Amino acid sequence: MNGRIIITGATGSMGAAAVEALAARGVPVLMACRNLSKAAAVRSDILGRIPAADIEIRQLDLASMASVRSFAEGIDAGTVAGLFNNAGVISKGYSITGDGFENTFSVNYFGPWLLTQLLLPKLPEDARIVNMISLTCRFAPLSEQTLRPAEKDFSQLGTYARAKRALLSFSMELARRHPSLRVNLADPGIVASNMIDLGHWYDPLADAIFKPLCRKPAAGVQPALRALTGQAHNRYFVGRGDNAIPSRYFAPDLDARIWAATEEALG
């Protein structure tokens, strides 16, 4: 593998675990993070355990398409071997970004979609692209209208599930349009991370009862790591294995329409 692996959301618990695991294997990593000071602290912590780790930090805010474009412009062709679209957010309330997108969809879908597209000309033909999805995709309907939810349509977990379902659709269409790319999906399962802190009064109770039963971040990121370092293409990595993408998600016509609607939304 020649070049860095870009990891978005690399200061989160699973992102940081991915950075450390790849660094331990001698893989150079680029941490793409919104908060640079937090990223520096994570990098310093990892270097304390792996002094030879090759870890670069650059700023990326997936809630801003200008930030996405600026980040992509700063990447030189031939320097990156893969992209792990790991960053995610479960927004507590309905809010609109400066680009006019609902925040959950911006961070989980529109930002990764645009980032991937802008980086494609700079990646090798067989680059590894791994998109982090969610088991909630199974229960999420998808249509062109889903991408731009109105406030009345917003729900904390429902909107997150639909954004991840849209990312799954993008992955499948990307694999069709670029068959030489190693495009794969990773499902971490339920992980004890800050992502499941939903900002409700019962969060401390959930921390005490529910989180101890969840997977640790280092375990949750293993499916993505196997996808990033293996030779698979268009597979669904979950648990200790990888499978064909479930047939319930096979909808080429829908994927093409979602792709076109996204291009239109991003201008």
User: What pLDDT was estimated at residue 192?
Assistant: 62
Q: Domains in the chain, start-ordered, CATH in brackets?
A: 4-189+218-266 (3.40.50.720)
- Residue ranges in the chain modelled with pLDDT below 50: 196-198, 200-211, 213
Beta carbons within 8 Å of 131's beta carbon, 6+ residues apart? 85, 112, 167, 168, 170, 171, 183, 184, 185, 186
Strands 241-244, 235-238: pairing is: antiparallel
Residue whose tokens read 């990888």? 242
User: What pLDDT was estimated at residue 126?
Assistant: 94
Condensed to tens digits (0 to 9), the pLDDT of residues 170-197 reads 999 999 999 999 999 999 987 665 554 4
User: What pLDDT was estimated at residue 217?
Assistant: 80
User: What pLDDT was estimated at residue 199?
Assistant: 55
Condensed to tens digits (0 to 9), the pLDDT of residues 55-92 reads 999 999 999 999 999 999 999 999 999 999 999 999 99
Active site residues: 160
Distance CA 193, CA 141 (A): 26
